[in-house]
Structure formats: structure tokens, C-alpha cells
Amino acid sequence: MVRRRVASFGYAFQGVWSALKTEVHLQFHAAATVVVLGLGLYLGLERWEWVAVAVAIGAVWSAELVNTAVETIVNLVSPEYHPLAGRAKDVAAGAVLVMAVAALVVGLLIFGPKVWALLA
């Protein structure tokens, strides 16, 4: 049982790595994650701010991974164009957009005042 649990983590990491290698948007999110983490360290975020940033980052990554899974499944079951397949892919992409905008708002609320204070 322990081996199966360990293997399932391996498969999950393999899935993240596979998506990271092939999905341009996920690569963008990875770069943004590095920048945000570096900026957070530089600005000395408080614990609650780190919590908000971590949740936002995790939510965007999760949405992007689910979007990738939806697109992959839709492409498998509907290799030819079908309006419902297109709709499923558009809605999944929309979920990523909504979460990315929410994460941007979190970032502006947390980093905005700190960056503004440095510039002023």
C-alpha cells in the first residue's frame, strides 16, 4: 500500500513536469511564481501575506493543470472539431483566466503598497 501511495505522488509530479514542459501558459505562470517569491522575500512579507500569495499561486497552477487535462481529454475523444468540444476547452481556459485575475488582485493588494512605498 505504501508503494502505491509513493507511486501516485510520482505520477502526480510526472504530470506537473509534463505539463510544465509542454504548456506555454504554465511556463509563464512558473516564471511569474519565481518573480513573486523573490519579490516577497525581498519585501519581507508577513505570514498572512505569504498565505494569500501561496494560495493564489497554488490556485492558478491548479487551474492551469486542470485546463491542460481538459484540453488533453477533449482532444482525445474529439479529434475533429465539435462545438461542444470547443466550448469545454473555452470554459476550462476561462477558469484559468478568472483565477489568474483573482491572483493578480491579491498580488496588487499585497505588493502594491509595498512597492509604492519603495518608489515614493
How far apart CA 21 and CA 29 sit, in angstroms, is 12
Instruction: List, by residue number, the catalytic residues.
Output: 64
Q: Would the annotation count 49 as a binding residue?
A: no
Q: Would the annotation count 89 as a binding residue?
A: yes
Alpha-helix runs per DSSP H in 1-120: 2-22, 24-43, 47-77, 83-119
Q: Would the annotation count 25 as a binding residue?
A: no
81: left (phi over 0), alpha (psi -120 to 50) or beta: beta
Q: Would the annotation count 42 as a binding residue?
A: no
Q: Would the annotation count 64 as a binding residue?
A: yes
Pick out the residues of the known binding site: 4, 11, 23, 64, 71, 80-82, 89-90
Pick out the residues of the known binding site for a divalent metal cation: 23, 71
Pick out the residues of the known binding site for substrate: 4, 64
